[in-house]
Amino acid sequence: MVTIIVCAILVLVVAGQLNALSKDCIGVGGGGGSGGFDGGSLNFDFYISSCPQAEAIIFSGVQQAMASDPRMAASLLRLHFHDCFVNGCDASVLLDDTPNLVGEKTAGPNLNSLRGFDVVDGIKTELEMACPDTVSCADVLAIAARDSVVLSGGPTWVVEVGRRDGVTASLSMATANIPAPTSDVATLVQKFQNLGLSTKDMVVLSGAHTIGKARCSSFISRLNGGGIADAAADRIFLQSLQQLCAGSNGTLAHLDLATPATFDNQYYVNLLSGEGLLPSDQVLVNGGGEVGSLVQAYAMDPVLFYEDFAVSMVRMGRLAPPPGSEAEVRRCCRVVN
Ligand code: HEM
C-alpha cells in the first residue's frame, strides 16, 4: 500500500515538474509489455532506437547521486550483485513487500544494508518520461553498476541489455545464495559455482570491495578472536577496528582503508598486508592454490584486474531467470505492474 501511494504521488509530482530527478518512480499498474524471459537474448543495442538517451540518463543520475553521496557508487554496484544472485538479474531486489509479495529487502544480507533504492527510482522516473514502458529496472541496475565503477576511476565495459523485470522475489533465495562475510573460501567458491560462475569470477568480483563501507556487525567475528581470517590479519589493523567498533555494531568502516573511494587494485594489496576488512576478504589469501595466485596477480597488475573485472561483470550480468518465467518492463521498480 505504501508503495502504491508513493508511486501514485510521484505521477502527480512528475506531471507537475519534469525537470528535477525525483526521489521516487512513476507508474502503478498497466503498461510495460509483459511476457516471458527468453533465456538469453541480451545484446548491446537493445535501446538504440527505442530509447537512445537511456545510457545518458542513467549516467547522469549516477553522477548526481555521487555528487551528494560519494558512497552511492558502491551501493549501486552492490545492488546489481544482490539482484543477479537471486533468480538472475531481474530487479527482484527492488520490489517492496506488499500483502501479496514478500520481497528480498528484509533478507539477512540486505536488511539495514542495501542502499540506493531511491536513486534507482529517480533514474527510472526520468526514463519513463523519456521513453515510457521501455527500459527495464534490471538494465538500469546493470548500467548504473558499470557507471559507478567508471565514475570511481575504474574500468569501463559495454553493458549487454534487454533484461526484463521479474514479477516475483525470493527472500529465501536471497538468504541462501548471497555469500555471508563469515564464509570460508570453499563456501565462497561454491556459492558462485552454484550459479555457473567460476573461482576467478569470485576472486575478481570481490575486488568490488575496493570501494564502499561495511558495518561493524559484518566483521565483528574477527574482533572477538578466533575468526577464520585471523591467521593472516594485521594485529594493529585489528586493534584499530576494535576501537572503531567499541561504540556500536552499526559503525561503518571503509572496505579499502587506503583508497576508500577509488576503484583500484588496492583491495588485493590490502589483503596481502593482512588489512582486508571482511573475514571473507581476508580468507582469500589463506586459501593458496588458484585463489591465492589470483590475489597475488591482481595486487601486482592493476590492468589485469580491470580487464578481468569487466569480463566477470558481464558474466554476472548474464545470470537470468529460468526461460519462460513471467516478465515485464516495470514502470515503477518497487512494484510489479
Ligand atoms: C564474494 C562474496 C561477497 C561477500 C561475502 C560480500 C559481503 C559484503 C558485506 C558483508 C558487505 C558490507 C555490508 C554491510 O555491512 O552493510 C559488502 C559490501 C559491499 N559489497 Fe560485497 N560481498 C561479496 C561480493 C561482492 C560482489 C561480487 C560485489 C560486486 C560486484 C560486491 C560489492 C560490494 C560493495 C560495493 C560493497 C559496499 C556497499 C556500500 O558501501 O554501500 N560484493 N559486501
Instruction: Kindly report the CATH number assigned to the domain that includes residue 307.
Output: 1.10.420.10
Residues near 130 by beta carbon (within 8 Å), at least 6 away in sequence: 51, 53, 54, 57
Does the annotation place 83 within a ligand binding site?
yes
Is residue 15 included in any domain, yes or no?
yes
Q: What is the pLDDT of residue 33?
A: 56
**Residue 59: pLDDT over 70:** yes
225 burial (CB, 10 Å; 0-12 / 13-18 / 19+) is exposed
Over 70: is that where the pLDDT of 31 sits? no
Residues with catalytic roles: 82
What pLDDT is attached to residue 9?
A: 43
How many angstroms is it from 85 CA to the middle of ligand 1? Answer: 12
User: Ligand 1, atom 23: nearest CA belongs to which residue?
Assistant: 206
* CA dist., res. 314 & res. 89, Å (int): 11
Residue 187 inside a domain? The answer is no
The lowest-confidence range among 77-86, 214-223, 263-272 is 214-223
- Cα angle: 120, vertex 123, 127; to 5 degrees: 130
Which ligand 1 atom lies nearest to the CA of residue 217?
A: 15
Same domain, 268 and 171: no
Q: Are residues 44 and 118 in the same domain?
A: yes
Structural domain contains residue 170: yes
Least confident range from 80-94, 178-192, 221-235, 250-264: namely: 221-235
Residues 160 and 207 in one domain: no
pLDDT value at residue 38: 66
The number of the ligand 1 atom at minimal distance from the alpha carbon of 116 is 41
- Three cell numbers, residue 300: 601486482
Q: Is 55 inside any structural domain?
A: yes
Cα separations in angstroms, 120 against 59, 126, 208, 211, 255: 11, 10, 20, 19, 23
Are 171 and 262 found together in one domain?
A: no
| Inside any domain, residue 337 | no
- Do 213 and 171 belong to one domain? no
Q: What pLDDT score does 232 carry?
A: 60
pLDDT of residue 16: 35
Is there an atom of ligand 1 within 6 Å of 103 CB? Answer: no
Q: What is the pLDDT of residue 36?
A: 72
Q: Is residue 308 included in any domain, yes or no?
A: yes
The verdict on residue 333 lying in a domain is: no
Domain annotation covers residue 311: yes
Distance (Å, rounded) from C-alpha 224 to C-alpha 60? Answer: 43
Same domain for 107 and 56?
yes
pLDDT at site 245 = 95
Number of domains within the chain: 2
Pocket test for ligand 1, best of 71, 89, 209, 268 (most atoms within 8 A of CB): 209
Q: What is the CATH number of the domain that holds 15?
A: 1.10.520.10
19 and 159 in a single domain? The answer is yes
Is the Cβ atom of 72 under 6 angstroms away from ligand 1? Answer: no
Q: Kindly report, residue by residue over 311-335, the tens digit of the pLDDT.
A: 999 999 999 999 999 999 999 999 9
Q: Is 104 annotated as a binding residue?
A: yes
Domain of residue 213: give its range. 196-315
Position 114 scores a pLDDT of 98
Same domain, 115 and 23: yes
How many angstroms separate the alpha carbon of residue 102 from the centre of ligand 1?
23
pTM of structure: 0.93
What's the confidence (pLDDT) of residue 273? 93
For residue 215 the three cell numbers come to 558495518
pLDDT at 14 over 70: no
pLDDT at 23: 43
For position 260, what pLDDT does the model report? 98
Phi-psi region of 171 (alpha: psi -120 to 50; beta: other; left: phi over 0): alpha
Query: In this structure, are 108 and 50 located in the same domain?
Result: yes
Mean per-residue pLDDT of the chain: 89
CA 317 to chain centre: 11
Could you tell me the CA-to-CA distances from 7 to 13, 44, 250 in Å, in that order?
Answer: 10, 30, 30
Nearest to 212 by CA among 92, 305, 113: 113
Dihedral angle at the C-alpha atoms of 85, 304, 296, 235, nearest 10 degrees? -70
Q: Do 210 and 170 belong together in one domain?
A: no
Residue 45 known to bind ligand: no
* pLDDT recorded at residue 37: 73
Instruction: Indicate whether 260 and 147 sit together in one domain.
Output: no
Q: What are phi and psi of 63, to 5 degrees?
A: -60, -45
> In this structure, are 297 and 323 located in the same domain?
no
For ligand 1, mutation pick of 78, 220, 255, 284 (most atoms within 8 Å of CB): 78
CB neighbourhood size of 261 (10 A): 17
Q: Pick the atom of ligand 1 nearest to 183's CA.
A: 5
For residue 335, list its beta bridge partners. 332
CA of 209 to the centre of ligand 1 (A): 6
Judged against a pLDDT cut of 50, whether residue 221 lies above it is answered with yes
Q: pLDDT tens digits, residue range 302-313?
A: 999 999 999 999
Residue 259 known to bind ligand = yes
- What average pLDDT score do residues 39-55 get? 89
- In angstroms, the Cα distances linking 229 to 45, 161, 183, 190, 279 are 44, 38, 10, 18, 5
d(CA 320, CA 85): 9
